[in-house]
A and B are shown apart, each in its own frame.
Chain A
Amino acid sequence: MSNKVVHALYDDDDVLLSAVKTIRSEKHHIEEVYTPFPVHGLDKALGLEDTRIAIMAFIYGCIGLCVAVAMMNFIMIDDWPQNIGGKPSFSYLENMPAFVPIMFELTVFFAAHLMVITFYMRSKLWPFKKAENPNPLTTDDKFLVEIELHDNEKALKALLKKSGAIDVSIIEKPE
């Protein structure tokens, strides 16, 4: 199995999108696309699976809600009941309206932070990690499509040129 890949560079997101569609319709396997910003509709054009992070967000939110309920119950009811505004301090339910903002905030807090952490883990990102992008231009204004090569160099190159690539190069990938 060769570890040669083709790098095709594009300078417009609409051209990239239509190029991705042509490349995929010609049954070439796109390894990865590097873009300077999220391109709307690219995930569908690439045929990526739908993200499941929404499900995780819901679960994280539920965890946050439970933590808030348990936390306020411990702080304000069990451990140190306080008389605030004459409200009864010995029943969680009767004090519940006062805790709703905290329940809401912790729901959002848990959902947001755990979602970001999940995203980092799934994307294999961590602090001080070396950047994976093969061409620094993709952090500026260019788009790069990486395609696996199987002895079809000429046809693929022609196809990429036709699809609007401004530069096509063959790269030997170090393992």
Chain B
Amino acid sequence: MYTFPNKLRNLAIAFMVIGFLGLAYGFITAPSTIEEAKAMVASSHGDGHGESHDAAPADSHGEETSHAISESHETSSEEHGTTSHEEGHDTSHDEHLFHQLSNKPWAALYVAAFFFFMISLGVLAFYGIQRAAQAGWSPVLYRVMEGITGYLLPGGIIVIVILALSGMHFNHLFIWMDPEIVAHDKLIAGKTGFLNLPFFLSRAVFFLTGWSLYRYFSRKFSLAQDEANDISNHKKNFRISAAFLVFYIVTESIMSWDWIMSIDPHWFSTLFGWYVFASMFVSGITAIALVTIYLKSKGYLEFVNDSHIHDLGKFMFGISVFWTYLWFSQFMLIWYSNIPEEVTYFMTRIEDYNLPFFGMVVMNFIFPLLILMNSDYKRINYFIVMAGIVIILGHYMDVFNMIMPSAVGDQWFIGAAEIGGFLFFLGLFIFVVFKELTKAPLLAKGDPYMGESERFHY
């Protein structure tokens, strides 16, 4: 049995405390009136997001100006409807700015909460695939995966609470939740059959319930298999895993439309579900590798050899490339067709988020590609940890890029709230995951494939 080391527990609690302070600071310093918002921008102009403005966008099209017009029209109509657009542009701009700045700590909280929830959901999918495929190499890692999916329920509840708070108008993350805006926006009004608060929240609860039920029963059968004389628990696990994967890929897609894409309800992309899936899958696999290497460095998991690490490294490499494929597919089609309502999504990202947008491609693609390409490097913990940390941070940036541009526009800044949010949920994640790891032996000794997995070598 694994015991939660005090040092790690204290570290997790320290992360949570620092993160909480950062978040609290972010919420306190958020402007409460339009005048405050104006003053904040006036005083900090130039240093906050200056560099992202003058970095020329890679795809300045011929009709850039017309886009810029339709773009500003788009964003302002998102917040206020089209009525007050012509007259009083200044006041509407200030109000817009105020909404963006008051959204900022909420968005920071939401990005971090969703990101760590997404890691455990990605691990759950990976675990389900191992079970359904009856994988022979991975049973030695089952308990690590089960530990990480322990965060699914608490993390998911936090995300749903944030969604519910948005529904109660504590923030303006989801503009379609504001009936004022829907009344003046034909596009959103046409979507109210799907995007309405009761249906939205009941979907969220339904998804989380489904995932958690699978997690609960799979864990139960996995533990029961340890002491069993036959493999009936293993077979049950196989069956529910296959069913779960079908449920998962449908609900995960809808979840990504609901929780991320609907932040920008005018925009849509048909492969968005896959894109979010690739992101959560690669961060999940990376988290498995990092937790495994950590436990191994402390003398646990003596049955995990470097071939298992090698396989995790291959997955990190492969799914990083897969993520890039989807990222680029989504980008190129929209860039090429250049339809105003679609291309605004990438216009805002390239103009206002140039550094994070292209920086994350370096972190999520070029760096792992070059460092994990060599077969030998995938067996060396140092390289896996280095690549893993960059991948985790890179996919945090990915979620940041998905949520922030629609929530705070060009007022983004990686400050106290963002770092605090990341640290808070990192601390919570470590705390819950390692707590869960102490609850069962680290070797799922009853698994019929355990012998194969322990002897596994490449």
Residues in chain A within 8 A of chain B (CB atoms): 54, 58, 85-88, 93-94, 96-98, 100-101
Pick the contact of A58: B62, B328, B332, B373 (CB < 8 A): B373
- Interfacial chain A residues near B62, Cβ < 8 Å: 86-88
Q: Is B335 on the interface with A (CB-CB < 8 A)? A: yes
Give the dominant DSSP class at A's interface: helix
Between A and B, 21 residue pairs with Cβ closer than 8 Å are A85-B336, A85-B338, A86-B61, A86-B62, A86-B63, A86-B338, A87-B61, A87-B62, A87-B336, A88-B61, A93-B58, A94-B58, A94-B60, A96-B58, A97-B59, A97-B331, A97-B332, A98-B332, A98-B336, A100-B332, A101-B332
Task: Give the distance to chain A from B373, nearest Cβ to Cβ, in Å.
Answer: 7
- Interfacial chain A residues near B374, Cβ < 8 Å: 54
Residues in chain B within 8 A of chain A (CB atoms): 58-63, 328, 331-332, 335-338, 373-375
- The answer to whether A94 touches B59, judged by C-beta atoms less than 8 angstroms apart, is yes
- Interfacial chain B residues near A96, Cβ < 8 Å: 58
Task: Give the distance to chain B from A80, nearest Cβ to Cβ, in Å.
Answer: 19
Q: Knowing that A93-B58, A97-B335 touch, tell me 11 more A-B residue pairs with CB under 8 angstroms.
A: A54-B374, A86-B61, A86-B63, A88-B61, A88-B62, A94-B59, A96-B58, A97-B59, A98-B332, A100-B328, A101-B332
- The answer to whether A85 touches B337, judged by C-beta atoms less than 8 angstroms apart, is yes
**Total A-B pairs in contact (CB under 8 Å)?**
31
Give the CA-CA distance A87 to B336 in the complex, in Å. 8
Give the CA-CA distance A87 to B375 in the complex, in Å. 41
- Interfacial chain B residues near A88, Cβ < 8 Å: 61-62
- Interfacial chain A residues near B58, Cβ < 8 Å: 93-94, 96
Give the CA-CA distance A88 to B59 in the complex, in Å. 9
Chain A to chain B: the 10 pairs with minimum beta-carbon distance, closest first = A97-B332, A86-B62, A97-B335, A94-B59, A88-B62, A85-B336, A100-B328, A85-B338, A98-B336, A93-B58
Name the residue of chain B whose CB is nearest to the CB of A58: B373
Task: Give the distance to chain B from A58, nearest Cβ to Cβ, in Å.
Answer: 7
Task: Give the distance to chain A from B307, nearest Cβ to Cβ, in Å.
Answer: 12
Interface core residue of B59, B374, B375 (most chain A CB under 10 Å): B59
- Interfacial chain A residues near B60, Cβ < 8 Å: 94
Name the residue of chain B whose CB is nearest to the CB of A98: B336
- Interfacial chain B residues near A97, Cβ < 8 Å: 59, 328, 331-332, 335-336
Give the CA-CA distance A58 to B374 in the complex, in Å. 10
Task: Give the distance to chain A from B55, nearest Cβ to Cβ, in Å.
Answer: 13
- Interfacial chain B residues near A93, Cβ < 8 Å: 58
Give the CA-CA distance A86 to B335 in the complex, in Å. 11
Task: Give the distance to chain B from A1, nearest Cβ to Cβ, in Å.
Answer: 38
Task: Give the distance to chain B from A108, nearest Cβ to Cβ, in Å.
Answer: 12
- Interfacial chain B residues near A86, Cβ < 8 Å: 61-63, 338
Name the residue of chain A whose CB is nearest to the CB of B328: A100
Task: Give the distance to chain A from B121, nearest Cβ to Cβ, in Å.
Answer: 30
Task: Give the distance to chain B from A125, nearest Cβ to Cβ, in Å.
Answer: 25
Task: Give the distance to chain B from A99, nearest Cβ to Cβ, in Å.
Answer: 10
Name the residue of chain A whose CB is nearest to the CB of B370: A58
Give the CA-CA distance A87 to B63 in the complex, in Å. 9
- Interfacial chain A residues near B337, Cβ < 8 Å: 85
- Interfacial chain B residues near A98, Cβ < 8 Å: 332, 336
Interface core residue of B58, B63, B375 (most chain A CB under 10 Å): B58
Give the CA-CA distance A88 to B335 in the complex, in Å. 13
- Interfacial chain A residues near B375, Cβ < 8 Å: 54
Task: Give the distance to chain A from B376, nearest Cβ to Cβ, in Å.
Answer: 9
- Interfacial chain B residues near A54, Cβ < 8 Å: 374-375
- Interfacial chain A residues near B61, Cβ < 8 Å: 86-88
Give the CA-CA distance A88 to B336 in the complex, in Å. 12
Give the CA-CA distance A87 to B373 in the complex, in Å. 35
Give the CA-CA distance A58 to B369 in the complex, in Å. 12
Interface core residue of A97, A98, A100, A101 (most chain B CB under 10 Å): A97
Name the residue of chain A whose CB is nearest to the CB of B337: A85
Give the CA-CA distance A101 to B337 in the complex, in Å. 16
Task: Give the distance to chain B from A64, nearest Cβ to Cβ, in Å.
Answer: 15
